[in-house]
Amino acid sequence: MKTPPLIAPLGPNDEEAVARLLHTALVAWYESRLRQGARFGESHEPFRIFPRVYGALDAGEGVGARDAATGELLGVCFIHDRPTHVAFGIVATAPGAQGRGVARAMMEPALARARAAGKPARLVSSALNLDSFSLYTRLGFAPHTLYQDMVLTVPTTGLVVVPPPGAERVRVARRDEAGRLANFENAQRGVSREKDYAFFLRNEVGAWRTWVLDDERDPTGEPAGFLVASHDPACLMIGPGHARDEATALALLWRALDAMRGHTPVWLVPCAEAGLVRTLYAWGARNVELHVASAVGAVPPARGITWPTFLPETG
Ligand SMILES: CC(C)(COP(=O)(O)OP(=O)(O)OC[C@H]1O[C@@H](n2cnc3c(N)ncnc32)[C@H](O)[C@@H]1OP(=O)(O)O)[C@@H](O)C(=O)NCCC(=O)NCCS
């Protein structure tokens, strides 16, 4: 039996090795299981966005597993401790080291800390990936919400579909709104992460746009919804966000998509939102994968519509 790996925090000097490991692990897994390795491109360079964003957002919370003899990086796992929960971001093990308990060894200490703090642990993982599904469910995660990953190529001249009602009122968030967005999300789904929204609105690492739809009639001053989009070429993705209802979700999504002209962004939408999904099909959106949100411990039932994201996976 091999010596157990050494588990230690990742630092800024690990950026190159982390990007290489993420790229290699994803290409190898998707190519061997789904013949879709090409999806991740030929270079590890775009994967630098993960250690960069996570290093800026949660410095010292990325964990690496290293070979005890050679020091070689065998695995990475990103942890996001928030007031209401502990979230797990991308987890990956080098292809040659898989099936030896590396991912479990990286995740168990953070799960123990979440348990000791009385917080649930949350993550979103591919429903097509039996290896990660098995890892997470063996660690106690129970799936609760299924999402479909959708893509749409936005013409360079903008969306051709007629803007849904409310799209004209969607505006860019102000720098001082992080607390307002975080309070709304916490009230809707029991997830508190003001730190993330402050990070997007500072917009110093990555390239974020945050859209808001207000409800002038709401006496509490809560927004009807908000939606963040990553415009970094390494990650063209819409989310995270939360909307009170389907009409708000459509208005926000139309605005966020129309701002990505000439690109093909991906976003996740709850499969249970059949009306929303039907409209997105009518807009020309296509499914590319399925993801499932899971938790260890009780999580409050969500109201409204949530968009999770792959970067940063903090909710
Ligand atoms: C998913 C991934 C991180 C797993 O890493 P790993 O280091 O091989 O995982 P571990 O060896 O620690 O744990 C795997 C667990 O799944 C279990 N397992 C694997 N396949 C299984 C199956 N079909 N049914 C039941 N259990 C299964 C193993 O027994 C083990 O559980 P145990 O520790 O209780 O015995 C790795 O496959 C990977 O890097 N994949 C590519 C990147 C990726 O997809 N990341 C996830 C993004 S959502």
pLDDT digits (tens, 9 = 90+) for 105-159: 999 999 999 999 999 999 999 999 999 999 999 999 999 999 999 999 999 999 9
With a CB cutoff of 8 Å and minimum separation 6, the contacts of 160 are none
Which pLDDT belongs to residue 291?
Answer: 98
* β partners of residue 150: 267, 287
Query: Atom of ligand 1 at shortest distance to CA of 129?
Result: 44
* β partners of residue 245: none
How far apart CA 24 and CA 268 sit, in angstroms, is 24
* β partners of residue 194: none
Lowest mean pLDDT among 58-67, 163-172, 213-222, 288-297: 213-222
How far apart CA 245 and CA 253 sit, in angstroms, is 12
> Quick one: average pLDDT of 191-203?
98
Longest dimension (CA), the chain: 65
Which pLDDT belongs to residue 158?
Answer: 97
Q: Is 101 in the pocket of ligand 1 (CB under 6 A)?
A: yes
Which pLDDT belongs to residue 235?
Answer: 96
Taking CA atoms, 90 is separated from 21, 87, 123, in Å, by 12, 10, 9
Burial 217-250 (b: 16+ CB within 10 A, else e): eeeeebbbbbbbbbbbebbbbbbbbbbbebbbbb
pLDDT class for 293, splitting at 50, 70, 90?
Answer: very high
> Quick one: average pLDDT of 269-278?
98
Q: Spell out the SS3 assignment of the chain.
A: CCCCCEEEECCHHHHHHHHHHHHHHHHHHHHHHHCCHHHHCCCCHHHHHHHHHHHHHCCCCEEEEECCCCCCEEEEEEEEEECCEEEEEEEEECHHHCCCCHHHHHHHHHHHHHHHHCCCEEEEEECCCHHHHHHHHHCCCEEEEEEEEEECCCCCCCCCCCCCCCHHHCEECCHHHHHHHHHHHHHHHCCCCHHHHHHHHHCCCCCEEEEEEECCCCCCCCEEEEEEEEEECCEEEEEEEEECCHHHHHHHHHHHHHCCCCCCCEEEEECCCHHHHHHHHHHCCEEEEEEEEEEECCCCCCCCEEECCCCCCCC
Mean pLDDT of all residues in the chain? 96
Q: Which of 26, 59, 21 is nearest to 312 (CA)?
A: 59
Report pTM: 0.96
pLDDT class for 187, splitting at 50, 70, 90?
Answer: very high
How far apart CA 101 and CA 77 sit, in angstroms, is 13
Q: Is 138 in the pocket of ligand 1 (CB under 6 A)?
A: yes
Give the residue, by CA position, lying nearest to ligand 1 atom 12: 101
Phi, psi for residue 56 in degrees, rounded to 5: -75, -35
Which pLDDT belongs to residue 44?
Answer: 97
- The torsion region of residue 46 among left (phi > 0), alpha (psi -120 to 50) and beta comes to alpha
Q: Is 246 in the pocket of ligand 1 (CB under 6 A)?
A: no
Homologous superfamily (CATH) of 6-119 is Gcn5-related N-acetyltransferase (GNAT) (3.40.630.30)
Taking CA atoms, 242 is separated from 41, 80, 183, 228, 309, in Å, by 30, 19, 11, 9, 11
Q: Is 129 in the pocket of ligand 1 (CB under 6 A)?
A: yes
Q: Is 279 in the pocket of ligand 1 (CB under 6 A)?
A: no
> Quick one: average pLDDT of 64-69?
96
pLDDT class for 67, splitting at 50, 70, 90?
Answer: very high
First to last CA, the chain: 37
Look at residue 1 and tell me whether its pLDDT is greater than 60.
no
Q: Is 25 in the pocket of ligand 1 (CB under 6 A)?
A: yes
CB-CB neighbours of 305 under 10 Å: 24
Please name the CATH architecture into which domain 148-307 falls: 3-Layer(aba) Sandwich (3.40)
Give the residue, by CA position, lying nearest to ligand 1 atom 27: 134
Structural domain boundaries in the chain: 6-119, 148-307
Query: Model confidence over 203-258: pLDDT tens digits?
Result: 999 999 999 999 988 888 899 999 999 999 999 999 999 999 999 999 999 999 99
